[in-house]
């Protein structure tokens, strides 16, 4: 009997896990598409969207500039010491710019926005859930997804490409600082190589990634907060803290997974 059950249990667990993940993906998908559709429902929530652009976008500018600058600087350093081995330091500008525009810019911007704004979204929505504010919206016949999630989604879809562009530009300048000013590569060569190697498809590919990441961050973070009460320990402050942690971890993992998937399609 013991042998049979020990063989069946892992299979049962695997089956349950698969069903759970499939159901969750379905629920997250419905949550996203409903929120997306409600952005366009009248009357438009322009004021709320602008407020959220300020929160997600404007307030993230400093941290994006800081991380962008240091990412570019370290790429400049590492790139130089790699390229110098092949006698091709002149390609540093192209290496830094392509790495940033195609890959690091969208991914690191998304991870920084998750940490700064995504965690706040999960906590805000989670607190609203446990203090019955979301129930109150429903009793007032106000759609909670439209009221809470849609403006955040719209704002993230607008802000993320802009933040990514800022990250890329600051990162390229950071690479210039270490590559040209510190290690002596000609500034003309640095920027000329960027101009000749970066094509529009690289830029649009980066923007496509940033838009997808925006959708991932807002959907996952708001979803975790919205369903705080359905967690096993989803009551009170502990429930909110668990939701916030899950929101950040799942968002970061999904950003990296979708990055791989998108890259394989965009290449």
Question: How far is residue 229's CA from residue 135's CA, in Å, rounded to a whole number?
Answer: 12
Q: With binding defined as CB under 8 A, does residue 96 bind other proteins? A: no
Binding segment for other proteins among 9-17, 86-94, 141-149, 195-203 (CB under 8 A)? 141-149
Question: How far is residue 246's CA from residue 239's CA, in Å, rounded to a whole number?
Answer: 11
Consecutive H or E run containing 112: helix 105-113
Question: How far is residue 136's CA from residue 53's CA, in Å, rounded to a whole number?
Answer: 26
Q: With binding defined as CB under 8 A, does residue 58 bind other proteins? A: no
Query: Structure tokens of 39?
Result: 């952005």
Question: How far is residue 150's CA from residue 41's CA, in Å, rounded to a whole number?
Answer: 10
Binding segment for other proteins among 108-116, 121-129, 161-169, 198-206 (CB under 8 A)? 121-129
Q: With binding defined as CB under 8 A, does residue 136 bind other proteins? A: yes
Min CB(227)–other proteins separation in Å: 15
143 burial (CB, 10 Å; 0-12 / 13-18 / 19+) is middle
Q: According to CB under 8 A, which one of 142, 181, 237, 249 is a site residue for other proteins?
A: 142
Q: With binding defined as CB under 8 A, does residue 147 bind other proteins? A: yes
Binding segment for other proteins among 2-10, 57-65, 138-146, 231-239 (CB under 8 A)? 138-146
Min CB(44)–other proteins separation in Å: 13
Q: With binding defined as CB under 8 A, does residue 132 bind other proteins? A: yes
241 burial (CB, 10 Å; 0-12 / 13-18 / 19+) is middle
Query: For residue 49, how far is the Cα from the chain centroid?
Result: 18
Length of the chain: 267
Q: With binding defined as CB under 8 A, does residue 233 bind other proteins? A: no
Nearer to other proteins, 143 or 241 (CB): 143
What are the residues binding other proteins (CB under 8 A)?
Answer: 124, 127-128, 131-133, 135-136, 138-142, 147
């Amino acid at each position: 009997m013991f042998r049979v059950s020990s063989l069946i249990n892992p299979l049962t667990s695997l089956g349950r896990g698969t069903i759970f993940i499939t159901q969750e993906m379905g629920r997250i998908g419905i949550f996203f598409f409903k929120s997306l559709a409600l952005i366009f429902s009248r009357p438009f929530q322009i004021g709320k969207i602008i407020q959220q652009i300020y929160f997600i976008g404007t307030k993230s500018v400093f941290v994006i500039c800081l991380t962008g600058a240091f990412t570019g600087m370290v790429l400049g350093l590492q790139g130089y010491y790699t390229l110098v081995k092949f006698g091709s330091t002149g390609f540093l500008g192209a290496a830094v710019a392509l790495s940033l525009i195609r890959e690091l810019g969208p991914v690191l911007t998304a991870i920084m926005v998750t940490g700064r704004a995504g965690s706040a979204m999960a906590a805000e929505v989670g607190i609203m859930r446990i203090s019955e504010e979301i129930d109150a919206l429903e009793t007032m016949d106000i759609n909670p997804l439209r009221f809470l999630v849609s403006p955040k989604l719209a704002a993230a879809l607008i802000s993320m490409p802009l933040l990514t562009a800022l990250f890329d530009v600051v990162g390229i300048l950071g690479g210039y600082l270490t590559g040209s000013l510190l290690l002596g590569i000609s500034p003309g060569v640095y920027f000329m190589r960027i101009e000749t190697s970066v094509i529009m498809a690289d830029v649009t590919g980066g923007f496509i990634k940033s838009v997808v990441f925006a959708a991932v961050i807002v959907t996952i973070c708001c979803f975790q907060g919205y369903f705080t009460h359905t967690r096993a320990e989803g009551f009170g402050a502990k429930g909110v803290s668990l939701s916030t942690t899950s929101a950040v971890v799942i968002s970061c993992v999904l950003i990296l997974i979708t990055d791989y998937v998108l890259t394989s399609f965009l290449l």
